[in-house]
Amino acid sequence: MVSRLPSLPICNVLAALDEALSSARRAVLSAPPGAGKTTVVPLHLLDSPWRAGGRIILLEPRRLAARAAAGRMAELLGEAVGETVGYRMRLDNRISARTKIEVVTEGVFARMILDDPELEGVAAVLFDEFHERSLDADFGLALALDTQSALRPDLRILVMSATLDTARIADLLGQPPVIISEGRSFPVDVRYRDRPGSVRIEDAVTQAILDALASEKGSVLAFLPGQAEIRRVAERLKGRLGADVFVTPLYGNLTQQEQDEAIRPARPGTRKVVLATSIAETSITIDGVRIVIDSGLQRLPVYEASTGITRLETARVSRASADQRAGRAGRTEPGIAIRLWHSGQTASLPAFTPPEILASDLSGFLLDMIHWGVHDPAMLSFLDPPPAAALQEARTMLNLLGALDAQERLTAKGRRMREIGLPPRLAAMVIAADATGHGRQAAMLAMLLTEQGLGGTSIDLDERLRRFAADGGTRATAARKLAIRIAGGIGGKAHSDTPATAGQLLLHAFPDRVALQRGGRGRFVMANGRGAEIPDTEGLAGAQMLVIADLTGRAAQGRVLAAAEVNRSEVEEELAATIRRSQECFFDAQSGRVRARRVVRLGAIILEESSLPRPSGEAAADALAAGVRQIGIGALPFSKEGMQLRQRIGFLHRTLGEPWPDVGDDALAARLDEWFTPFQHGAFGLDEIDATGLTEGLRALVPHGMLRDLDRLAPTHFRAPTGQNHPIQYDGDEPKVSVRVQELFGLRQHPTIGGKLPLLLELTSPAHRPIQTTRDLPGFWAGSWKDVRADMRGRYPKHPWPENPEEAEATTRAKPRGT
C-alpha cells in the first residue's frame, strides 16, 4: 500500500508514526498544510499489523472536507468511493462491507461511540484538523480516551492538525509521542495590504482580487466572513472580469454539486475566483489556486447561557487560521497570500480560534454525557472544561423538556430524545408531535432548522416548509428521507390527515420563546422576558403571537431569524401545564399606587388580565415594597427625625461596623421586607406611606439591646453652655454641629460624642453665617479667635466679642444697651 502513495512531506515521518501507534497507542501529529496527513496517513495505516482487519475512522470537521478526503484517497487507490474508502455523514452515506477507512464528520462519530462505547471492529480513530476545536470533536476525543482506558486498550488514537497546540494536547493524552512533519509542499509569499477602517471589507477584497488577477497567474481563493459578504463581492465583480475568469461561491449552505464545482479545477484556458467562508481553511485542495486573499475576518457563534440565544459575531481570525488560509496558496505550486491588514497586527491576533465548548448551547452535550454515565464533565478529559453557567442552563432546559428526573437521570422521554439524533428541543418537538400523528411533519421542520438553506431564507417557517416540500434538489430529497426515517423510528401514531402548523409544532420545542406583540408592529416580548424584533416589512411582523425558533442579537432585543405564527387557543391547548392563572397585587408606577388584577400568564407574557377591587393586607404591602424598590429609596417621605436617625445609624455603621446596620439605599432596598413592609400595612400608594412607620422601621433594624447605646454613641443634639440644643449632622464624613460662637463662651474643652470622637464645630456669626470650623476649640480661642474678633466686632458691634472668650459668659443675646 505504501508504494502507491504520493511522495509528500508526511512520508518522512510515517516510520515514527508507526512506532508511536504500535507502542504508545496514542500520538499527536503536527503537519502543515500540504504535507499530506489527511490522505496519506489513513492509507498508510491500512498496512499496520495492529489493525488486524479493523476499520480506521477519520474525523473531519466539515462534510465538504470529508467528501474531498474520501474522494482523494479512493482516487489514489484507483477505486470508487464506497469501496476501501467511504464516508458517512448526516445526509449522505457511501459505505460498503468492503470499507476499511471511514471518513466521518465529527458529529457522526460522537453518535457512533455513544451508541457503541466499545467501538467494535474499529482499530483506530484519527482526529483530523483538531485545532478547529468543535464541540463534537472535543467530546468525541474525551469519549474515545475514556473507551481506550476502560474498554479498549488496543484502540489507537491519533490527533492531527496543521496548527496544533501540541503541548496542551500532549498533556491531555498523557504525554504520548509528538511527531512533527516538515513544512508545506511549496513556498507561499505572504504579503500585507492594510485596509483603512473607512473601506468596507467587500470593497477591499474586490480590489485585491482585481489587482491579483491583473498581476499574477493562477486562480484565486478569497476568504470572507459570511454569505452576505460573498454575495456582495460577487456583485461587485460582475462585468469587471475577463471572459476566461469564473466566480464560484463556497459555503456550507450550498448543495454538494455547488460545493464540488467550487473545488473542481478550472477548465483549461480559464481561471476561477472562489469566494469562501472558513469552510475552505482545512482538508481540501482547490487545484489551480495559487493566490489567497484573506479578509482576516470570520463569523463565530457566541452562546449566551443567560438568554439561551446564539448570535453570530464577526471577529478577527486567529494566527492559526491565518496560517491555514495562507497555506491554501501553496498546495500545488508556489503561491501568494495577501492579507488585508497591517503586518504589525498579526502578532496581536489570538493564537487559536476559541473552542466551541466555551460558547455553545450544551443541552445536547449534557444529554449525551448523562447517557454515557457521567454527570460531572471533570470525569472526562477535556482541553477546556465546559462553563458552569452553560451547563446549568442546559440542565434547566432539559428539565423543562422533561428529559431528566429529580436525580438528573434520563427519563424515558430523555432516552427517546437522545435516540432521535436531533438537538434536544427539536427531539422533544418530534416526540410530542408523534403523539398526535404529526411526527413526520415535525421531523421535516427539524430538518429546516438544522440544515441551513433548506426551504429558502424566509423568516416564516410555514412558508419555508412549503418550499421545502416542493424542492426536488438532491439535498432536499435526502433531508426529507432522513425526516421520514426519524419519524418512522419513533413508532408512534399513524400519520394524521389534518396537518399542524409550524407554530403548533414549535410550541413543544420553544415554550420559552412564545412571543406576544407588544409595543407595535414587529416588536415582541417572549415568555422568557426577552424582547425580539421582526422588520415591519415582513408578514409575520403583524402577527399577535409567534413561536420563535431562531434569533440573534443582544439579549435586550433579539433579531428574529425564524418563527411561525400561533394563536392563543393553540398556546393554551398545547402548553396548558405551564400557563398560570392567579390573582396578584402589583405596583402601578404611573399612578404610584398598588393595584390588584386577575391574570393569565405564560412566563413573562400576560395573556389576559382584569382588574380586581382594591387590595389589602400583606400582599398590598409587598407590592408597595416592590414599587419602592423600583423607583428608589430616595422617593420615601422620611421625616426630619427619620432622616437624622438614618444618618446616625449610617455613621455608626461606617465607624464601628457590624452589628450596626448598613442603611444606604441599596442595603435598605434589599431589606424592605424587614423594615418597610411590616410598618406600612395601611398604605396603598406612595402618598399614603407613613413617615412615622419609616422611622420605626429603621429602629427595627438595630439589634435588640443596642438602641440604648444609640443616644450615647450618636446623640441627636449638642447642648451648648447656654442650655440650647443644636442638632448634630451625621450626613458627612464626621458628625458636625453648627452653633453661634457666642454660645460657646466659657467652654474650655472641645465637645465630643461617645466620650472620644471630637465634634466638628461649625462656628457661625450672629447672622448664622459660617466663620470658622474647628476640631480644637481651646486651640481656636488661643489662636484664630483674635483675627475673628477683629473682623467680627466691626460687623456686629451689638454682640459681645471678648478678648478672653474662655472667661466670658455664654450668651444668645446681644450686648445690653449702653455697654
Distances (CA, A) of 393 to 371, 525, 602, 619: 18, 20, 19, 32
What confidence tier does 308 reach under pLDDT thresholds 50, 70, 90?
low
Residue 149 and residue 10 in one domain? yes
Confirm if 61 and 135 have CB atoms less than 8 A apart: no
DSSP codes, 361-401: --HHHHHHHHHHT-SSGGGS--SSPPPHHHHHHHHHHHHHT
Query: What is the residue-averaged pLDDT of the chain?
Result: 90
What confidence tier does 759 reach under pLDDT thresholds 50, 70, 90?
very high
Residue 704 and residue 731 in one domain? no
Residue ending a domain, among 357, 378, 403, is: 357
In the three-class reduction of DSSP (H, G, I as helix; E, B as strand; rest coil), residue 158 is classed as: strand
CA distance 97 to 482: 22
294 is a domain residue: yes
Residue ending a domain, among 303, 336, 357, is: 357
Q: SS3 for 416-428, per residue?
A: HHHHHCCCHHHHH
CATH number at residue 441: 1.20.120.1080
What integer pLDDT is reported at residue 819 of this predicted model?
Answer: 55
Range with the poorest average pLDDT among 311-320, 398-407, 553-562, 792-801: 553-562
Residue 340 and residue 271 in one domain? yes
What integer pLDDT is reported at residue 365 of this predicted model?
Answer: 96
What integer pLDDT is reported at residue 1 of this predicted model?
Answer: 45
Residue 353 and residue 366 in one domain? no
Q: Is residue 762 pLDDT above 80, yes or no?
A: yes
341 is a domain residue: yes
Give how many domains the chain has, as a whole number. 6
Confirm if 336 and 191 have CB atoms less than 8 A apart: yes
Q: Is residue 257 pLDDT above 90, yes or no?
A: no
Range with the poorest average pLDDT among 12-16, 222-226, 316-320, 615-619: 615-619
Q: Is residue 306 pLDDT above 80, yes or no?
A: no
Helix 363-372 to helix 135-150 angle, to the nearest 10 degrees? 10
Residue 437 and residue 564 in one domain? no
Residue 284 and residue 239 in one domain? yes
Residue 212 and residue 124 in one domain? no
What integer pLDDT is reported at residue 248 of this predicted model?
Answer: 93
589 is a domain residue: no
Domain holding 22, by residue range, is 2-180
Using the 8-state DSSP alphabet, how is residue 471 labeled? -
CA distance 452 to 530: 25
**Largest CA-CA distance found in the chain, in angstroms, rounded:** 131
What confidence tier does 421 reach under pLDDT thresholds 50, 70, 90?
confident
What confidence tier does 817 reach under pLDDT thresholds 50, 70, 90?
low
What integer pLDDT is reported at residue 708 of this predicted model?
Answer: 85
230 is a domain residue: yes
What integer pLDDT is reported at residue 2 of this predicted model?
Answer: 43
Residue ending a domain, among 149, 180, 211, is: 180
What integer pLDDT is reported at residue 722 of this predicted model?
Answer: 93
Q: Is residue 617 pLDDT above 80, yes or no?
A: no
469 alpha-carbon distance from chain centroid: 34
DSSP codes, 256-303: HHHHHHHHSPPPTT-EEEEEE-GGGSSS---TTEEEEEE-SEEEEEEE
Using the 8-state DSSP alphabet, how is residue 121 labeled? T
Residue 446 and residue 563 in one domain? no
pLDDT digits (tens, 9 = 90+) for 143-194: 999 999 999 999 999 999 877 778 899 999 999 999 999 766 688 999 999 9
Q: Is residue 461 pLDDT above 90, yes or no?
A: yes
| Length of the chain (residues) | 819
608 is a domain residue: no
What integer pLDDT is reported at residue 327 of this predicted model?
Answer: 84
pTM here? 0.75
State the residue for C-alpha cell 422588520.
535
CATH number at residue 309: 3.40.50.300
Three cell numbers written together for 4: 502507491
Average pLDDT over residues 29-43: 88
Residue 567 and residue 655 in one domain? no
565 is a domain residue: yes
What confidence tier does 755 reach under pLDDT thresholds 50, 70, 90?
confident
Q: Is residue 495 pLDDT above 90, yes or no?
A: no
CATH number at residue 516: 2.40.50
CA distance 447 to 476: 9
What integer pLDDT is reported at residue 291 of this predicted model?
Answer: 95
616 is a domain residue: no
Q: What percent of the chain has pLDDT over 70?
A: 97
**Contacting residues for 217 by C-beta, under 8 A, at least 6 apart:** 290
What confidence tier does 802 reach under pLDDT thresholds 50, 70, 90?
very high
pLDDT digits (tens, 9 = 90+) for 76-115: 999 999 999 999 998 889 999 999 999 999 999 999 999 9
Q: What percent of the chain has pLDDT over 90?
A: 64
Residue 339's DSSP bridge partners are 192, 294
Residue 524 and residue 497 in one domain? no
CA distance 58 to 113: 13
Q: Is residue 485 pLDDT above 80, yes or no?
A: yes
Residue 255 and residue 373 in one domain? no
Cα–Cα nearest to 142, from 373, 303, 414, 390: 373
Residue 136 and residue 262 in one domain? no
What integer pLDDT is reported at residue 197 of this predicted model?
Answer: 85
Average pLDDT over residues 45-66: 93
726 is a domain residue: yes
What integer pLDDT is reported at residue 558 of this predicted model?
Answer: 82
Three cell numbers written together for 147: 473507551
What integer pLDDT is reported at residue 302 of this predicted model?
Answer: 78
Signed CA dihedral, 373, 376, 378, 381: sign only: positive
Q: Is residue 3 pLDDT above 60, yes or no?
A: no
What integer pLDDT is reported at residue 614 of this predicted model?
Answer: 78
Confirm if 511 and 577 have CB atoms less than 8 A apart: no
Q: Is residue 493 pLDDT above 70, yes or no?
A: no
| Phi, psi for residue 494 in degrees, rounded to 5 | -70, 160
What integer pLDDT is reported at residue 556 of this predicted model?
Answer: 62
